[in-house]
Amino acid sequence: MLADDLAEAIALLRNAGDARALLADLCTPAEVHSLAERWQVAKLLDAGAMTYREIHDATGVSTTTIVRVARFLRQENNGGYRMLLDRVGGKL
């Protein structure tokens, strides 16, 4: 499957610079911005200090996107947000 090939390639990235370079080649600036917004929302939701409305007011991200990120963070079985949030939290 194409997504599996991409996931395997992403797993080979060595650092943030590699990831930035791939994102710049793979995505439009708007797509990178959208991905970055979702990651920011995931971090804010995980911190638990803000309501959805407060996150919207602080970031400008739509409440629809905030709800979607919250669902994937808390209910879906993929676990991608949770895994990276835990890994980033371990670095702090």
The 10 Å CB-count burial string (b at 16+, else e) for 23-45 is beeeeeeeeeeeeebbeebbbbb
Q: How confident is the model at residue 1 (pLDDT cuts 50, 70, 90)?
A: confident
Which are the contacts of 26, defined by CB distance < 8 A and separation ≥ 6? none
Among candidate residues 76, 84, 2, the one with its CA nearest the CA of residue 35: 84
Alpha-carbon separation of residue 57 from 4, 27, 61 (angstroms): 36, 26, 8
In a domain, 87, yes or no: yes
- The whole-number pLDDT of residue 11 equals 96
In a domain, 21, yes or no: no
Domain count, the chain: 1
pLDDT tens digits, 22-46:
999 999 999 999 999 999 999 999 9
Distance CA 77, CA 47 (A): 20
In a domain, 20, yes or no: no
In a domain, 84, yes or no: yes
pLDDT tens digits, 53-92:
999 999 999 999 999 999 999 999 899 999 999 999 876 4
Note the pTM of the prediction, 2 decimals.
Answer: 0.89
In a domain, 37, yes or no: yes
